Structure 1
Amino acid sequence: MKLETSAVARIPKETVDQIIHTADILEVVGDYVQLKRKGQNYWAPCPFHNEKSPSFSVNPAKGLYKCFGCGKAGGVIQFVMDIEGSSYPEALRGLAKKYGVAVPEEEERTPEEQLAQNERDSQYIVSNWAKDFYHGLLLKSEEGMSIGYGYLKERGLNLTTIQTFELGYSLDQFEGLMKAATTAGHQLKYLEKTGLVVKREDDQGRDTGRRYDRFRGRVMFPIHNVSGRVVGFGARTLKRDDKMAKYLNSPESEIYHKSDVLYGLFQARQAIRHEELCYLVEGYLDVLSLHQGGIKNVVASSGTSLTEGQIRLIKRYTDNVTVLYDGDAAGIKASLRGIDLLLEGGLNVRVVLFPDGDDPDSYIRKVGDQRFADHVENHSQDFIAFKTTLVAREASQDPVKKAEAIRDVLQSIAKVPDGLKRQVFLQQTASVFGFEEQVIITEYNKLLKTASPSKSRPAADDHRESRAASPTAAPATAPARSYSSEEEAEMAMYGVSSGSEAEATAGIHPGSTLNADPSELAAPLDVLTQCEQAVLRLLVLYGPHEVQPEVTVAHYLLSQLDGTPLRNPLYARLWAECREQFLQGQLPDLRLLAHHEDAGIRSLLADFATERYDLSPNWRIKDIYVPTELNLIQLACDNAILRLNKCHVQRERQQCLAQLQDSRLDQNEQLNALLRYNELTKLDGQLAQMLGTVVARNA
């Protein structure tokens, strides 16, 4: 029987190295977030946690990423693992496929590897198989061609669109897919977990042992995640039966969460980034017709209410959303509530209405691609302005409804994070409803005071804005100042640093975090750990560079500290590995080390290699020379070695002092301890003098 496994195949090291060197981290990360260059690095809001200002950095030269907010860090393989929740070999194989690197199949596997099961990977495998199965039935079976393909052709879809979105058809049979899947070697439990097969139960909820296909006699719309993996299906019946749901979707599973998926995003993500705009529609056919008509940057919520997860997906690629509404008035009112979430998510929202009775799919088929595009361009309007005009028109003759309408608009304005935009919207609202601006501002302030904290923006921020909006309000108490990344960088240039003095002394980047096993890395770091970290950092970052002619940093550090073991277990493992490679004639390669199988080492190296700040270009413009660490690599290595040795001397000196205070020692032992203490004291002073840290004392 075929097993859906994620056994860790022994991919040859040469192949792994080729994948790492071939994969472009900017391109891979850019498939998920909108990167913008600042200095040598690229920045974006972190895809792993919700934030408003970018703290996620990608260094293309070193092939590493790091978020200074949540601490996620690593290389291109780690990013794929983090963003998709995939295993290490799955991430490797995915990148190999993307970049055309051939991965040889493992001929021999251990029994443990052959039996290893991974639930998520198994569900991906069976879902992908089902997609291919349904697609084949649509284009090759008699029933699929006559019914399924005939329906799609009637809806105006061509073969290219059908293949791009991998549409399919499920035969009108109770066990068609189930029998084919089990014959192909797929396990029944994964067919059930993905919802492809349904378990029949009796009236008491007991398993009858019967199983049947969930989807029968339906056109199939595979639902992909952002990396292109099939996670579920939408299915439309072609029967005219009022008792049967027109659309049927896959149930929630380990790989499919409706609230975190947008239909068509995989096909649209590049166009969204290029156009800096996302069109949001409701149904599968809306996406397909618009994509075929040349509007590639379109996604659908698949008939469900918008969720925060879906909004975060859009924001990865753009800040601009245009919602394409059906002409139905009741549908518009129902959708208004969901758009408040888009505003709260920091997106710029516009709206396009179609004539009553038309949706995007029917309208583009009616008027054609060019007239549809012209309609979208000419009828696009800001959402707040649209909503204000809509509710004002409906309530124009009723004072009570008018007051309710104003409050409804103000609730939407309160969702907008940008203070300047809120101010403009308040002015527009006053103008449309024919009120003095101050009256609207006063009502806005009342709304903020009565709003539940869980349903509005943070109260402190709202009140700061409401006071600022009102010319008669008393000045608000100034909040504690928080600085942007750019401001902090400017402060750092003038010597104001958020890092501790100990970090600076040890050569550790201010603000860096370590994400290894807590048992291996204590927080805060003690002085010895900081000194060990400093020499290790120089080794992995600059190992191949020369400190002297024909003497590399790796050679210099490893020879100078050969008899100085590192106490931290994580550091010791990495040091020993680099030393072993050096003895075999290899120098540390950061790009390869950053994809180490040890997650603690991967995280540590990402911290070493990622810097939050770049040197301001103004220094170069003004022709002011600022040496880099690499320019002073000999000095950096010498200082790191001296500090580590000085730290060991001080620790041994403390041990001698403890011996001198131990009454159990005999006279000879105490004398030896005293002599050693004096030697270490002298050595400590010499090291301090070499480091330039001797402090003169007044006589």
Structure 2
Amino acid sequence: MISKSTIDQVYETARLEEVIGDFVQLKKSGANFKGLSPFTDERTPSFMVSPVKQIWKDFSSGKGGNVVAFLMEHEHFTYPEAIKYLAKKYNIEVEETQRTDEQKQEANERESMYLVSEFARDHFQHNLWESELGKAIGLSYFKERGFEEETIRSFGLGYCLDHWDDFTKAALEAGYQLNYLEKTGLTIIKEGAAEGESNRKFDRFKGRVMFPIHSMSGRVLGFGGRILGNNKKAAKYLNSPESEIYHKSKVLYGIYFAKKAIAKEDNCFLVEGYTDVIQFYQRGIQNVVSSSGTALTPEQIRLINRLTKNITVLFDGDAAGLRASLRGVDLILEQGMNVKICTFPEGEDPDSFAKNNSLEELQHYLQENSKDFIQFKASLLAEESANDPIKRADTIRDIVNSISKIPDTIKREVYIQECAQIMNISEQVLFNTLAQIGQKALSDAGKKAREAQKAFEVVKSEPVQEKIDLQYELERKIIEVLLLYGNEEEEFEDLLLRENEAGDLVLEPESMAAKVYEKIFLDLQEDEIELTHEKFRTIYYLLISSLSENEDFSINTFLTDLDRELVEEVSSILMEEERYTLHQWERKDIYPKEKQAGVSQLVSETILTLRCYLIKKRIHSLQQNTEGSSEDHRETLEEIMNYLQLNTLLNKKLNRVLS
């Protein structure tokens, strides 16, 4: 268990905008920050962060909460893991009891796989630095590649001994279950060939140097292993298999080490291999990641898109597979990102070039040789089709096809103009080709939609206009007021119902000083009003309790005691007004009305409106009881008249005209 003092210190120290800024590129928007949702695929920001309230809200997915909720949602951390992550980030010492073997076994499956992966990283590192074979083989290899000791330790590089089950034995002896060793792919189990023969267990990465693959928050998801021998039957590089925690298509090697530099430099260098990333990082260029030898995927691009809109793809000097690699560029363009391409001299790759050149020389080369994708593609393909009109036509069509992937209309037009100049062809022809490609895409999409429609019959019905649930909105407003102003002391105008000299009922004002939460609680209790929506009712009583017990009530602390569902509800209530800032209405000369009423007026109007609503509801109920009945309803009718009179008085107080 983590001590309460540690948890309190973490919440007091952690800054939400700093933590989320490690995962999402945030831009200032008034008093808040906004960015692209890290939970959905979007091109228009709908993710808001409030530094003042220390909460976030993702309007595209409905998720929201405080700093811990973000880490639990985004990184799939447990609550203790999120606290430990924040403690590490802010150099806070964590007070806790040692995790026992029994606790390891009780951890959930996902967490158990993380624990096994972290143990494996430590074990391989220990082999590299402490064992004779590790130092002689693994460490020597890394040093030959030009990696310094500090770099080797930073990236957690290691070595799996060339023994059948060195790692598996160590993990089992440390109390980790064989089940999770197999699920992470670290151990391979081969069933016994003959009856009665026991299953054989051996290490997947036997005799390989190890590259841990980290999540954006630094958790070990899997490994890449490079063989050092001359075994032609074995793959040069071997990756962990897909698992509950490792999805190759959604991970970028080096993203944990690069994320801050990517956001700071507003550019990401994309390379192919592990050693390319490490060598660049060691040389001083830290905004670099790798797709780890796999074809680039939309999920990987979206990881970068959260941090920057700019990608520079770095290719080896060997042009053999260059054309195939360019397919990844189209994927980047589809995500609305800006792409540059840089190739190294023949025989060089990012690893060797960074190793053999100083930081200044490397930076100068990248700056001078990074071409816009259209220039690069045009020059590359033009060389291939120099004297062949048919090939040249195909080249131009290939370039226009890439341009068609760009979602931004203005960018598309600029690139068409540039392509026309480079390829010496009229813009009109290119625009016509672009329109044909777009028409074909629309036609294909329409065809798919029609096919999907045939698969099931859709019953057409008139669109139902959604009714506003006034009681829901009023109860929601009460929770918002309590959260924002609960502990503030205000001067309230209380309304007392009395008869005047003429015998008419009137509302007489009477001033009273009270805290907002006291006023709301007493008013609702006096009228015997119970919140009807379950979530609001739960939050209401928790709030009243917390406000009455804590003079220094804070939203951040209050959220720590709520379950995830209630945290999302609270953050949704608090961030509702921020939704309008996302639309940038002021650019269209539309200015959303902000809260101008004083707190006491806001409280009074909310309670009065709720009273009016409940009175009307009661009147309607009484009227229904009298319909179609021959009984004497004089008492009921008198009660209805009293309620109507009270409703009129309350609406006058609210300056509302009754029809």
Unaligned runs of 5+ in 1: 1-8, 460-501, 503-522, 620-624
* Residues 77/449 of structure 1: CA separation in 2 closer, same or farther (3 Å cut): same
| Residue number in structure 2 paired with 1:640 | 606
Give 1:183's match in structure 2, choosing from 170, 173, 192. 173
1:66-105 maps to which residues of 2 (within 5 A)? 66-105=57-96
In the alignment, what sits opposite 1:663?
629
Is the aligned partner of 1:553 residue 2:516?
yes
Tell me, in whole angstroms, the C-alpha distance in 1 between the residues paired with 2:265 and 2:547.
Answer: 49
Distance verdict in 2 for CA 1:686–1:342, change over 3 Å: same
With the length of structure 1 as denominator, give the TM-score of the two structures: 0.83
1:320 maps to 2:310: yes
Residues 365-409 of structure 1 deviation map (CA, whole Å, 9 limit, x = unaligned): 233433222211111110111001111121010111111111111
Q: Is the 8 A contact 1:328 1:356 kept in 2?
A: yes
The equivalent position to 1:192 in structure 2, one of 182, 186, 196, is: 182
Provide closer, same or farther for how the CA distance between residues 305 and 119 of structure 1 changes in structure 2, counting only shifts above 3 A: same
Matched, 1:223 2:241: no
- Aligned pairs (5 A) from 1:158-177: 158-177=148-167
Q: Is the 8 A contact 2:192 2:199 kept in 1?
A: no
Query: How far is the alpha carbon of 1:55 from its aligned partner?
Result: 1.3
In the alignment, the residues of structure 1 paired with residue 399 and residue 474 of structure 2 have an alpha-carbon distance, to the nearest angstrom, of 58
Cα distance change of structure 1 residues 294 and 453 upon mapping to structure 2, 3 Å threshold: farther
CA offsets, 1:227-277, max 9 Å, x none?
Answer: 000000001011012111110100000000011111111001111111111
Q: Give the gaps of 5 or more residues in structure 2.
A: 450-464, 492-511
Per-residue CA distance 1:462-497 (angstroms, 9 max, x = gap):
xxxxxxxxxxxxxxxxxxxxxxxxxxxxxxxxxxxx
How big is the shift at 1:673?
A: 1.6
Are the structure 2 counterparts of residues 107 and 572 from structure 1 closer, same or farther at C-alpha, using a change threshold of 3 Å?
farther
What's the counterpart of residue 688 of structure 1?
Answer: 651
**Pairing 1:420–2:410 present:** yes
Q: Cα–Cα, structure 1 residues 235 and 454, in superposed 2: closer, same or farther, change >3 Å?
A: farther
1:271 partner SS: helix
Determine whether 1:30 maps to 2:24: no
1:125 aligns with one of 115, 126, 129: 115
In structure 1, the residue matched to 2:574 is 609
Does the 8 Å contact 1:219/1:238 carry over to 2? Answer: yes
Looking at structure 1, the residues matched to 403 and 321 of structure 2 have their Cα atoms a distance apart, in angstroms, of 21
Amino acid at match of 1:47: P
Deviates more, 1:526-535 or 1:136-145: 526-535
1:554/1:587 contact within 8 Å kept: no
- Report the counterpart of residue 649 of structure 1 in structure 2: 615
Tell whether 2:474 aligns with 1:531: yes
Give the AA of the match of 1:147: I
Aligned counterparts, 1:465-476, within 5 A: none
CA distance in 2, matches of 1:283, 1:192: 26
Distance 2:429 2:594 in 1: 58
Task: Give the counterpart letter for 2:476 in structure 1.
Answer: Q
- CA-based RMSD of the aligned residues comes to 2.9
Q: Distance in 2 between matches of 1:452 and 1:191?
A: 48
Find the counterpart in structure 1 of residue 56 from structure 2: 65
Q: Distance in 2 between matches of 1:61 and 1:162?
A: 40
Name the CA distance, whole Å, in 2 between partners of 1:362 and 1:183. 41
Identity of aligned residues (%): 40
Q: Is the 8 A contact 2:487 2:551 kept in 1?
A: no
Shift of 1:126: 0.8
Judge conservation of contact 1:554–1:588 (CA < 8 Å) in 2: no
What is the identity, as a one-letter code, of the residue corresponding to 2:474? C
Structure 1 stretch displaced more, 239-248 or 364-373: 364-373
Counterpart of 1:240 in 2: which secondary structure?
A: coil
Closer, same or farther in 2 for the Cα pair 1:215/1:655, shift >3 Å? same
Tell which deviates more after alignment, 525-534 or 294-303.
525-534
**Greater CA drift, 162-171 or 542-551:** 542-551
TM superposition shift of 1:596: 3.8
Cα displacement (A) at 1:646: 1.2
Structure 2 counterpart of 1:534, one-letter code: K
Answer whether contact 1:325 1:359 (CA < 8 A) is retained: yes
Counterpart code for 1:639:
E
Secondary structure of 2:87's counterpart equals helix
* Residue of structure 1 in register with 2:484 after alignment: 541
> What is the alpha-carbon distance in structure 2 between the residues aligned to residue 334 and residue 302 of structure 1?
16
Distance 1:114 1:281 in 2: 37
What SS does the corresponding residue of 2:321 show, helix, strand or coil? helix
- Determine the C-alpha separation between the residues in 1 that align with 2:384 and 2:99: 73
Deviations 1:110-163 (A, max 9, x none): x9x897441111111110111011011111110010110001111110001101
Secondary structure of the structure 2 residue equivalent to 1:330: coil
Q: Distance in 2 between matches of 1:49 and 1:19?
A: 28
The aligned length equals 614
Structure 1, 68-77 or 298-307: larger mean CA deviation: 68-77
CA change 1:114–1:120 in 2 (3 A) is closer
CA contact (8 A) 2:104 2:176 kept: no
Q: 1:64·1:594 contact (CA, 8 Å) conserved in 2?
A: no
SS in 2 for 1:594: helix
CA distance 1:583–1:298, change in 2 (3 Å): closer
Mapped to 2, the partners of 1:146 and 1:263 lie a distance apart of: 26
In structure 1, the partner of 2:128 is: 138
CA contact (8 A) 2:104 2:112 kept: no
Shift of the 583–349 alpha-carbon distance from structure 1 to 2, 3 Å rule, reads closer
SS in 1 for 2:579: coil
Cα deviation 1:424-476 (Å, max 9, x = unaligned) = 211222222221221222222222223477799x99xxxxxxxxxxxxxxxxx
Query: Which amino acid is the alignment partner of residue 218 of structure 1?
Result: R
